[in-house]
A and B are shown apart, each in its own frame.
Chain A
């Protein structure tokens, strides 16, 4: 029941042997790049510095800033004629993060993606609709190659245009779809507007959701709305994109493919490894990428490695759901808050719709956290007292969770900004002090 029986169930000793061998190869390639070449030469590091996985600690971290500073070609480990594709982030906050791939890299990625989908129960008999932007964003082509490798009938639907998505689902009997979780709320609204029930009027049985952090409650809502199983997909452009870690049908953590990635969890302040099972920043090293190897890349994603083995029999460790990014934490009135904490509270309240927006603002000289929440249309009955009670209940529950009293504003359904890409959940309007 595995895509690759041997690799996915390899015992830990053999897996580590494979990792050491691949890490040495990776360093050998990295040294060809201008960035790692000069850095490792200065530090006297080479493939021979690695005898065990623990030796990884000798190597310096790589940061997003390093990628930006060496934009675009500073990390290339192969001559440009060997490169066949690039993917990139939008670069709204500086140079875009660009990742280059050789033919081998694309092939290896497609395989990891197929392995991931197989692990979530997708088979070659499925009709797979990829509701994701094609182009520089990795979710389009990354999934496409994996879906084809697995052998599903692929529908490269692209992002947006919900009525068309629904028509495609109905015309071709889509059984599996991939989308970002915040978009699925919008899609469900359109189903309702068209008088359709996805549970009855489609053949969907599985959703793959990812590309933005979401809570368990959000997943359960999606499963209930569409009558499907929803599996969490984790990836990031720097590590190819999707196909890095994926949930199996047990839905208890994301198997991270350790033959392709070395995983560390560090304390983002001290940079030391955290104790086993503790939450920290995910640090990753590519083990099977030639064009642009990345060594000890600080992802900024916060998670932990789940203890124990998964009942599915795979030996690769599991990551917990991403709880946030070390750089998306915000501080209000001295309290550290992650958007996911707030989402966790909101999604447990049945009267609340799926979209929300957190705005941080300075009001009368004080930090305030304003949370705009949509109220479900069918719950509204015109009673002002009931709405007021709901508003106070949300305020109280969020205050109990994050220890800061928010200003809760109920808003009309559909009035919060909808984006085709990742949803914007936090807006910062505070006046920077002493800047």
Chain B
């Protein structure tokens, strides 16, 4: 089971850096990220990091609103059409998601696609059933 760390942030100068400073101090690596913004001056930062549990705990200790949120991470080909091919299969599997982002492949690491969905267990089952390969945690978080 893979997790992203989700952090509630006001859209103000320096607020994102407060988060990255905590991660830097603990030598936690950011693998991929996504930042949402709403019209009401706040947003949510989603991070896939080398040690999500530690990152979550440290951010909470700093007084931030942070949550560990389960995600489904699917392997993807890093080539033109890679995401489209994957999405066709996700569509066929009948899985909807509320948020998604990705990571390119580097060296011998594959690219991957992160989805945040309301019912993770159901989504994971459907995707497995459709023959998609869900990434193991160590590949998501990296060996670091």
Contacts and interface: CB of A to CB of B under 8 A. Distances in A.
Interface of A: 193, 375, 377, 380-385, 387-388, 391, 407-415
Given A388-B38, A409-B40, A410-B42, A380 B67 contact: yes
Contacts of B43: 384
A381 B69 contact: yes
Contacts of A385: 98
A357 to B, nearest CB: 13
A382 B98 contact: no
Given A375-B65, A380-B65, A388-B38, A412 B98 contact: no
Given A375-B65, A377-B60, A382 B40 contact: no
B44 interface: yes
A391 B8 CA distance: 14
B42 A409 contact: yes
B10 A384 contact: no
A409 B69 contact: no
B64 interface: yes
Contacts of B69: 381-383
Nearest to B46: A382
B123 to A, nearest CB: 15
Given A382-B67, A383-B69, A413-B63, 12 more contacts: A375-B8, A377-B60, A380-B6, A381-B6, A382-B68, A383-B98, A384-B99, A387-B44, A388-B38, A412-B9, A412-B65, A415-B10
Contacts of B99: 384
Contacts of B8: 375, 380, 387, 410, 412
Nearest to A385: B98
Contacts of B133: none
A375 B40 CA distance: 14
B113 to A, nearest CB: 18
B42 A411 contact: yes
Interface of B: 4, 6-10, 15, 36, 38, 40-44, 46, 60, 63-69, 98-99, 116
Contacts of B36: 384
Dominant SS among interface residues on chain B: strand
Nearest to A381: B67
A410 B98 CA distance: 21
Nearest to B36: A384
22 contacts: A193-B63, A375-B65, A380-B65, A380-B66, A381-B67, A382-B4, A382-B6, A382-B7, A382-B67, A382-B68, A382-B69, A383-B69, A384-B38, A384-B44, A387-B42, A387-B44, A388-B38, A391-B40, A409-B40, A409-B41, A412-B8, A412-B10
Contacts of A407: 40
Dominant SS among interface residues on chain A: mixed
B42 A414 contact: no
A384 B98 contact: yes
A382 B98 CA distance: 12
Nearest to A412: B10
A413 B65 contact: yes
8 shortest A-B CB distances, which residue pairs?
Answer: A382-B6, A382-B69, A382-B67, A380-B65, A381-B67, A409-B41, A377-B65, A384-B44
Contacts of B6: 380-382
B46 A411 contact: no
Contact of B10 (A381, A382, A387, A411): A411
Nearest to B67: A382
A381 B60 CA distance: 12
Contacts of A411: 10, 42
Nearest to B116: A382
A203 B46 CA distance: 42
Nearest to B66: A380
A383 B117 CA distance: 10
Contacts of A382: 4, 6-7, 44, 46, 67-69, 116
Which of A384, A385, A387, A411 has the largest number of chain B CB atoms within 10 A?
A384
A375 B64 CA distance: 11
A334 to B, nearest CB: 25
B28 to A, nearest CB: 18
A415 B63 CA distance: 10
B120 to A, nearest CB: 12
Nearest to B64: A412
